[in-house]
Structure 1
Amino acid sequence: MLRPKIKLFLPAVLVLCGSAAVLNCQTSEKTGLSDRWLGRDKLSHFAVSLAAVGLANHWLEAESAEPPVRARNTAVVFSLSLGIVKELQDGAQKGNRFSFKDLAADILGAAAGIVLFTIN
Structure 2
Amino acid sequence: MALHTKGGLCAALLLMASATAHASFDCNGSHGGFRVQTDDRWTGTDKLEHFGVSAPFGAIGGWLMRDTDHPVIYGTLLGTVPGLVKETIDGTCRTDGFSYKDLFADALGALTGAWLTHWAVMYSGGSHGKTIGVRYDNTF
Normalising to structure 2: TM-score of the pair?
0.52
Work out the CA distance in 1 between the residues paired with 2:107 and 2:65: 20
- How far apart are 1:71 and its partner, in Å? 4.4
State whether residues 55 and 110 of structure 2, in contact with CA within 8 Å, keep that contact through their aligned partners in structure 1.
yes
Q: CA RMSD in A?
A: 2.7
- How far apart are 1:73 and its partner, in Å? 3.8
Number of aligned residues: 90
List gaps (5 residues or longer) in structure 2.
1-20, 27-38, 120-136
- How far apart are 1:42 and its partner, in Å? 0.7
Match of 1:36 among 30, 36, 41: 41
What pairs with 1:1-120 in structure 2 (closer than 5 Å)? 19=21, 22-23=22-23, 35-61=40-66, 67-69=67-69, 71-119=71-119, 120=137
Higher strand fraction (1 or 2) = 2
List gaps (5 residues or longer) in structure 1.
1-18, 28-33, 62-66
Work out the CA distance in 2 between the residues paired with 1:117 and 1:84: 21
State whether residues 90 and 98 of structure 1, in contact with CA within 8 Å, keep that contact through their aligned partners in structure 2.
yes
DSSP-derived class of the 2:95 partner? coil
- How far apart are 1:76 and its partner, in Å? 1.7
DSSP-derived class of the 2:43 partner? coil
- Structure of greater Rg: 2
Higher helix fraction (1 or 2) = 1
- How far apart are 1:43 and its partner, in Å? 0.8
Structure 1 stretches of at least 4 aligned residues deviating more than 3 Å after TM superposition: 68-74
**Sequence identity percentage:** 33
